[in-house]
């Protein structure tokens, strides 16, 4: 059965802005290096940085019909996440759909396929992370699921999970883990600020992290010349 689920748990949505500020690399580290979408998803303009609750959408190859169904499920603070059911780089999404999403307060689009009208999307400041840019349009013939659990660019996305995206890529945070991840990410940033000051002052990572002894134990030898 093909379904569109109309009620999803957005309880973690209040944490989105804080995660967006921390950034993808920090959030990814803080949750134990999991949840990163394939690095082939790139922002259509830079810099760009968002976070929000995932509304998920499957699409058939060359067919963007279900994006229209998904738009109705989107609310203020959401991020639309779209995955094709097989590899396709067509331009599934353009400025009209972006206008529709922007009017609903949606923060951006993550799509493991192509988009078009990127000059207009850039002017509108509607951020998109996509696998391709392609002017090739799509048809509206085949249905698929909206707001079910999907795999997008190598990661499982459950509707209502938090999606964080910036110039470094896209990461998903499980809604039930979001508080703990946020906490760890903040610790990490605080710790990094301290490190940054020391690095700026010229201190070495070898000393800051006490690496010299362990390197020597592993067998590294410092020598003056190779000959």
Q: Is 210 in the site for a second copy (CB under 8 A)?
A: no
Specify whether the CB–CB gap between 172 and 161 falls below 8 A: yes
Q: Is 177 in the site for a second copy (CB under 8 A)?
A: no
The contact mask relative to a second copy for 20-49 (x = CB under 8 A, - = no) is ---xxx--xx---xx-x--x--x---xx-x
The Cα 172–Cα 51 span in angstroms is 9
Q: Is 189 in the site for a second copy (CB under 8 A)?
A: no
Distances (CA, A) of 172 to 48, 62, 167, 219: 17, 26, 15, 38
Q: Is 2 in the site for a second copy (CB under 8 A)?
A: yes
Distances (CA, A) of 58 to 62, 103, 113, 202: 12, 22, 11, 50
Q: Is 213 in the site for a second copy (CB under 8 A)?
A: no
CA dihedral (134, 81, 58, 179) in degrees, to 10, reads 160
- Interface of this chain with a second copy, residues 111 to 150, rule: CB under 8 A: 114, 116-119, 122, 132-137, 139-143, 147-149
How many other CB atoms are found less than 10 A from the CB of residue 179? 13
- Interface of this chain with a second copy, residues 61 to 80, rule: CB under 8 A: 61-63, 65, 68-69, 71-72
- Interface of this chain with a second copy, residues 143 to 162, rule: CB under 8 A: 143, 147-149, 151, 154-156
Q: Is 219 in the site for a second copy (CB under 8 A)?
A: yes
Query: C-beta of 15: minimal distance to a second copy in Å?
Result: 19
Residue range at the interface with a second copy (CB under 8 A); choices 13-21, 178-186, 217-225: 217-225
The Cα 204–Cα 215 span in angstroms is 14
Pick the binder of a second copy from 18, 21, 77, 85 (CB under 8 A). 85
Tokens representing 86 are 């097989």
Query: C-beta of 47: minimal distance to a second copy in Å?
Result: 5
Residue range at the interface with a second copy (CB under 8 A); choices 14-22, 87-95, 174-182: 87-95
Residue range at the interface with a second copy (CB under 8 A); choices 13-21, 99-107, 175-183: 99-107
Question: Partners of 162 in the beta sheet?
Answer: 53, 173
Q: Is 167 in the site for a second copy (CB under 8 A)?
A: yes
Pick the binder of a second copy from 95, 126, 129, 160 (CB under 8 A). 95
Q: Measuring CA to CA, which residue among 131, 160, 165, 124 is closest to residue 59?
A: 131
Specify whether the CB–CB gap between 28 and 185 falls below 8 A: no
Question: How many chain residues touch a second copy (CB under 8 A)?
Answer: 95
- Which helix (H) or strand (E) element contains residue 43? strand 42-43
């Amino acid at each position: 059965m093909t379904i569109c689920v109309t009620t999803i748990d957005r309880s973690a949505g209040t944490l989105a802005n804080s995660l967006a500020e921390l950034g993808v690399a920090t959030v990814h580290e803080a949750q134990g290096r999991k949840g990163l979408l394939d690095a082939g998803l790139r922002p259509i303009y830079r810099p760009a940085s968002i976070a929000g609750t995932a509304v998920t959408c499957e699409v058939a190859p060359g067919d963007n019909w279900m994006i229209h169904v998904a738009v109705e499920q989107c609310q203020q603070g959401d991020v639309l996440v779209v995955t094709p059911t097989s590899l396709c780089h067509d331009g599934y999404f353009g400025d009209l759909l972006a206008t529709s999403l922007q009017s609903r307060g949606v923060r951006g689009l993550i799509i493991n396929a192509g988009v078009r009208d990127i000059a207009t999307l850039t002017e509108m400041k509607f951020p998109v992370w996509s696998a391709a840019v392609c002017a090739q349009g799509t048809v509206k013939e085949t249905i698929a699921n909206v707001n079910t659990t999907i795999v997008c660019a190598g990661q499982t996305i459950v509707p209502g999970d938090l999606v964080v995206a910036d110039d470094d890529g896209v990461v998903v945070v499980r809604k039930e883990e979001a508080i703990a991840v946020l906490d760890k990410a903040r610790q990490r940033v605080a710790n990094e600020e301290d490190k940054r000051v020391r690095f700026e002052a010229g201190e070495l990572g070898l000393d800051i992290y006490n690496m010299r002894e362990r390197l020597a134990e592993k067998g590294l030898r410092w020598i003056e010349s190779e000959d």
